[in-house]
Amino acid sequence: MAERVFMKGTEAIAEAAVRAGCRFFAGYPITPQNEIPEYMSRRLPEVGGQFVQGESEVASVNMLFGAASTGIRAMSSSSSTGISLYSEGVSFSASARVPIVYVNVGRGGPGIGAIQPAQQDYNQATKASGNGGFRMIVLAPSSVQECVDMVYEAFDLAAKYENPVLVLTDGVVGTMMEPVILPEMKTDEELASLRKKFEHRAIIGHPVGKQAVCRAGLMGSGQENVNIKAAAMYDDWDCEIRVEEYMMDDAELVIASYGISARICKAVINKLRKEGIKIGMIRPERISPFPYDTFAKLDPKKIKGLLDVEMSIPAQMIWDVKHVLNKDIPVRECLRSGGQLMTNNQVENAVRDLIKEVL
């Protein structure tokens, strides 16, 4: 039986990455993700990996780009304002189809904002991670265990599609401690095999006197062909949609939420269900690709109202929900931002207000 260990979210993220085969990490300190690079600085040398504290976020993401271009599994992490500085390097990685993994442990904003947790980077993560309109798979954990599972999976997704993958969490999950079951460590033989698969386009050195050629971005004759191939890949991502439908079988009210807010909502739903209130929740486990079909199928004859719950003002995920939701279903919001935490009471009161309005 796998051993359960008690770990902080940020440290669990780092250990999961190491076990997934990450052997290079570059990052720069910023609250509330500092324990990830701190953990990596100690852990990576133990497994033959390399840790670099970059002089800035810009330097770190470009080191990540360079390391991943050799076929090694590489990761970086930052928080909100730092992630904004990653946009150019992430764009380069998307254009060159380099499989980087990076983690955003979100904090309040805009701007420097607050060091406390928030979910104000949804649009950045899903719509504007960099220039050029590229897309990424974005995983959104709601617990420390999901941080472990999703970070571990992120490296396989990045390798599968040769594309950047983002794990978007927040300062609540990053700083809380919970028991987790850690995955098995990938063996050196497994990692060698995985690196071999990327060798045909990896930058792995050249003989003295011979010019090096970066083959990472040579996908066709011209940028348009690169984008056409990428668009075809995105069209195949329906198979990568992951969504939890919690107590939705007989629900008359629906909460839409993700990450830590969804975890808070689940506790409220459990309480209200004991009172006989028929309420459920739709939680995207991956916010990109977004589970549009799950919201589109909601029947206004059955669903009387929807409550969007986010630690963001203005709401951001709500745009994706409303994009496909039947207009006969009323939508209301329950929001916090700037490092102010969502509470059970706030969600419960918002649900009760919705009940008065629609039932």
The pairing of strands 286-288 and 305-310 is: unpaired
Residue 336 is part of a domain; what is its CATH number? Answer: 3.40.50.920
Q: What is the pLDDT of residues 125-146, one digit of tens each?
A: 999 999 999 999 999 999 999 9
The answer, yes or no, to whether residue 103 has pLDDT greater than 90, is yes
User: How confident is the model at residue 221, as a pLDDT?
Assistant: 61
pLDDT grade for 226, boundaries at 50, 70 and 90: confident
CA distances for 124 relative to 166, 269, 316, 317, angstroms: 11, 29, 10, 11
Q: Are residues 13 and 56 in the same domain?
A: yes
Q: Is 328 helix (H, G, I), strand (E, B) or coil?
A: coil
- The number of folded domains in the chain is 2
Q: Are residues 63 and 168 in the same domain?
A: yes
CA distance 61 to 88: 9
Q: What is the pLDDT of residues 41-58, one digit of tens each?
A: 999 999 999 999 999 999
CA distance 266 to 349: 14
- For residues 172, 173, 178, 180, the Cα torsion angle rounded to the nearest 10 degrees is 180
Residue 147 maps to a domain: yes
The answer, yes or no, to whether residue 220 has pLDDT greater than 60, is no
Classify residue 293 as exposed, middle or buried by CB count within 10 Å of its CB (0-12, 13-18, 19+). exposed
Phi, psi of 2 (to 5 degrees): -65, 145
Residue 164 is part of a domain; what is its CATH number? Answer: 3.40.50.970
Q: Are residues 146 and 176 in the same domain?
A: yes
Range of the domain at 345: 244-358
Residue 145 maps to a domain: yes
Residue 222 maps to a domain: no
